[in-house]
């Protein structure tokens, strides 16, 4: 018999989770003003809100905590992180930050000014906000295939070179501080960018003398896709692929809460000493001294170890196959999901799922609430609420895709949990024609409203 695929780890510590009743969840979600971020974690049975900071650290990472050097300046933990970053990504300079958006804040404080344009594949929401907050404009140059949830294109995170060149050609260089490429592209469904595309974007950037920044939260998952899907890379080690990817970026920001499998942490990597020096000033202002930047020594140790584990092929295969396992189950149940499956999450197409709800009533949010009521599973809306209002017109921005994301934490849940999630989604799907009312807004913040929004049923 052919041996089945199986996880590349075993479990050393476990955490009890509470299986609530539907009546309890009805009350809790009303008390939470229909905002899933407002739920207490013990009101959630399976938490697929995010894969960020929710992974399970390894025995080696936990051991590294004990070895952390908590010196204010020059800690050995800083050098452990520095050496790992140089070894994997090739950057001589780096700044630790407490998480990814802090890295964006520090770097953009140096680079982004009013009136600038920042082209790239679909910008993550914190990235977009850090650009818009500075009165600059993110420009989405993702390939058109990404905006069709049923299009099976292999690299839907790719930058459309024509769209990019139109921006570069028609605007002065002084208005474009950098091009940003997000690997994998979270906002277009956890979709990878091919090595060829990274190479092409970089050579176009150099033609126009513009820098390239990688938003690298899920760089290792992107490298796994290059290895398994792109011709010529099948026999290369993930580490070699990562080294090649980063030849095509002048700098990186990273939320280490994803592919470095830590609960908190981030950093910026640079080739330019000048930029590093300028960014250091903001790091000291916002984050902390340049050799800790908002992280404890123990955090930096676990992060350095996590970066090494995050690129192990067996780990990545276990991870990506688990996400695909959930995706395939949902497809088998007839649920409209975005294909190809994302690296870190399955995205359910809420517009195709809830056809009786108009987009003005927030389809993906309505679906996420229904799923929570059904089985205590917490997903997240990646749709109109997240897209915020247009900063100028203040009208709702309706994105091309209205999605419910089910993000899978790393090394946390088993495939039995995935079976449970799939059954819960399928039950909601079976009763979709009885869901005729969506949500309306009671309160919203001016930006990043989804985190604190208050809603009621229409
Ligand atoms: N870039 C990408 C591609 C991200 O997915 C995130 C976070 C960030 C930057 C910001 O990093 O959270 O450490 O400040 N994504 C999380 C998510 C929150 O749920 O997808 P952070």
Residue 16 lies in a domain: no
Q: Is residue 360 part of a domain?
A: yes
Reference 54, options 366, 361, 412; nearest CA is 412
Determine whether 125 is an active site residue. Answer: yes
Q: Cis (ω within 30 of 0) for the bond into 340? A: yes
- Domain for residue 150, yes or no? yes
**Shared-domain flag, residues 154 and 165:** yes
| pLDDT in the model for residue 90 | 98
CB atoms within 10 A of CB 217: 28
Decide whether any atom of ligand 1 lies within 6 Å of the 132 Cβ.
no
Both 306 and 319 in one domain: the answer is: no
Ligand 1 near 256 CB (within 6 A): no
Shared-domain flag, residues 47 and 105: no
Known catalytic membership, residue 98: no
Q: Which of 52, 98, 101, 407 to mutate to test the pocket of ligand 1 (most atoms within 8 A of CB)?
A: 52
Ligand 1 geometric centre to CA of 187 (Å): 10
Distance from the first to the final alpha carbon of the chain: 55
Note whether 334 and 383 are same-domain residues.
yes
Q: What was the pLDDT predicted at 392?
A: 86
Domain end: 310, 337, 364, which one? 310
Q: Please indicate, yes or no, whether residues 234 and 373 belong to a single structural domain of this protein.
A: no
Tell me, what's the pLDDT at 353? Answer: 98
The CATH number for 366's domain is: 3.90.1150.10
Q: What is the pLDDT of residue 385?
A: 96
138: helix, strand or coil: strand
Question: 30 and 104, same structural domain?
Answer: no
Q: Residue 210's closest CA among 201, 198, 220?
A: 201
The verdict on 99 and 41 lying in the same domain is no
Indicate whether residue 217 lines ligand 1 (CB < 6 A): yes
71 and 206 co-located in one domain: yes
Between CA 457 and CA 39, with CA 374 as vertex, the angle to 5 degrees is 65
How many domains does the chain fold into? 2
What is the phi/psi pair of residue 93, to 5°?
-120, 140
* 297 and 390 fall within a common domain: no
Does the annotation count 72 as an active-site position? yes
Domain end call among 310, 331, 364: 310
Separation of 319 CA from ligand 1 center, angstroms? 18
Decide which of 310, 328, 361 is a domain's last residue: 310
Return the CATH number at 276.
Answer: 3.40.640.10
Give residue for tokens 């003005």. Answer: 360
Question: Are 410 and 362 contained in the same domain?
Answer: yes
Known catalytic membership, residue 130: no
* Statement to judge: residues 125 and 143 lie in one domain: yes
Known catalytic residue at 324: no
**Gap between the Cα atoms of 75 and 296, Å rounded:** 10
Q: Chunked in runs of 10, what are the mean pLDDT values of the chain (458 residues)?
A: 94 96 98 98 98 98 98 98 98 98 98 98 94 96 95 96 98 98 94 98 98 98 98 98 98 98 98 98 98 97 98 98 98 97 97 97 98 98 93 90 96 98 98 97 94 97
Are 249 and 343 within one domain? Answer: no
Closest ligand 1 atom to 185 CA: 3
Q: Which tokens is 390 given?
A: 């247009």
Asked about 450 being catalytic, the answer comes back as yes
Half-sphere exposure of 375 (CA within 13 A, CB side): 22
- CA-wise closest residue to 255 among 303, 289, 317: 303
Pocket test for ligand 1, best of 98, 103, 124, 189 (most atoms within 8 A of CB): 124
Domain limits for position 381 = 22-51+313-457
């Amino acid at each position: 018999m052919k041996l089945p695929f199986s996880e590349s780890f075993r479990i050393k510590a476990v955490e009890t989770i509470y299986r609530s009743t539907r009546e309890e969840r009805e009350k809790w979600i009303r008390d939470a003003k229909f905002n899933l971020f407002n739920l207490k974690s013990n009101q959630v049975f399976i938490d697929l809100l995010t894969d960020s900071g929710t992974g399970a650290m390894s025995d080696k990472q936990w051991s590294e905590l004990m070895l952390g050097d908590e010196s204010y300046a020059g800690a050995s933990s800083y050098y452990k992180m520095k050496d790992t970053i140089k070894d994997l990504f090739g950057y001589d300079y780096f700044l630790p930050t407490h998480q990814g958006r802090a890295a964006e804040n520090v770097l953009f404080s140096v680079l982004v000014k009013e009136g600038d344009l920042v082209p790239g594949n679909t910008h993550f929401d914190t990235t977009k906000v850090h650009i818009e907050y500075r009165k600059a404009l993110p420009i989405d140059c993702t390939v058109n295939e990404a905006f069709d949830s049923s299009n099976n294109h292999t690299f839907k995170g790719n930058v459309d070179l024509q769209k990019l060149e139109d921006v570069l050609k028609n605007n002065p260089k002084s208005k474009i501080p950098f091009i940003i490429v997000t690997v994998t592209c979270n906002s277009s469904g956890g979709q990878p960018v091919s090595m060829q595309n990274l190479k092409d974007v970089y050579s176009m950037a150099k033609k126009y003398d513009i820098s390239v920044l990688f938003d690298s939260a899920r760089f290792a998952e992107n490298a796994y896709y290059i290895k398994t899907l792109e011709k010529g890379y099948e026999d290369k080690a993930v580490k070699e692929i990562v080294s090649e990817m980063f030849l095509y970026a002048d700098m990186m920001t990273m939320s280490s809460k994803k592919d470095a499998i830590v609960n908190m942490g981030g950093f910026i990597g640079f080739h330019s000493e000048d930029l590093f020096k300028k960014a250091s000033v903001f790091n000291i202002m916002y984050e902390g001294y340049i050799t800790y930047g908002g992280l404890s020594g123990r955090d930096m140790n676990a992060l350095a170890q996590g970066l090494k584990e995050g690129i192990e092929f067996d780990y990545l295969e276990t991870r990506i196959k688990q996400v695909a396992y959930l995706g395939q189950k949902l497809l088998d149940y007839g649920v409209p999901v975005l294909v190809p499956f994302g690296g870190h999450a399955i995205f359910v197409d809420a517009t195709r799922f809830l056809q009786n709800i108009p987009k003005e009533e927030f389809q993906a949010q309505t679906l996420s609430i229904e799923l929570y009521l059904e089985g205590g599973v917490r997903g997240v809306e990646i749709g109109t609420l997240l897209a915020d209002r247009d900063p100028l017109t203040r009208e709702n921005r309706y994105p091309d895709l209205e999605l419910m994301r089910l993000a899978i934490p790393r090394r946390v849940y088993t495939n039995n949990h995935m079976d449970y999630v799939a059954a819960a989604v399928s039950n909601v799907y079976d009763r979709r024609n009885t869901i005729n009312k969506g949500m309306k807004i009671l309160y919203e913040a001016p930006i990043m409203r989804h985190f604190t929004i208050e809603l009621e049923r229409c």
